[in-house]
Amino acid sequence: MGTNDANKIVDKDLSYKLTGIFFDVHNKLGRFLKEKQYADEVEKLLKKAGINYKREFVFEDNKLGVGRNRVDLLVEKGLLWI
C-alpha cells in the first residue's frame, strides 16, 4: 500500500471493522471450508457489530442483464465483499 492509498479508503472506520471481522472469521474457522460457512460466520459478526448489510444481493437493474450480477454481501455504504 502506497503512502497516498489510505486517503482512497471509502469509509475508514467501517473498513477497519470489516477487516477485523474477516480476520476473526479466518482465525476461528481456518481454511478449506465452504463459502457458506464463512458467510454465515461473517453474517453473525456483522449483526453483533450492528453493521447494516444485505446477503446474496442481486443487482436488478444493470447493463449486463436483469438479475445477473450478485454479490455475497452488500455492506452499508456500498462496500462489497465478493
Mean pLDDT of the chain, nearest integer: 83
For 31-70, the pLDDT digits (tens) are 999 999 999 999 999 999 999 999 988 877 666 566 677 8
Residue 80 and residue 53: Cα distance in Å, rounded?
Answer: 10
Enter the pTM of the model.
0.77
Evaluate whether residue 3 is within a structural domain.
no
Percent of the chain whose pLDDT exceeds 90: 49
Residue with cell 462496500: 79
Handedness of CA 41, 47, 52, 55 (dihedral sign): positive
Evaluate whether residue 4 is within a structural domain.
no
Residues with Cβ < 8 Å from 56, sequence gap 6 or more?
70, 72
> How high is the pLDDT of residue 71?
82
Angle, CA of 70, 77 and 54, to the nearest 5°: 40
Domain that holds residue 46: 9-81
Question: What is the pLDDT confidence band of residue 73, given thresholds at 50, 70 and 90?
Answer: confident
The three cell numbers locating residue 74: 452488500
Evaluate whether residue 2 is within a structural domain.
no
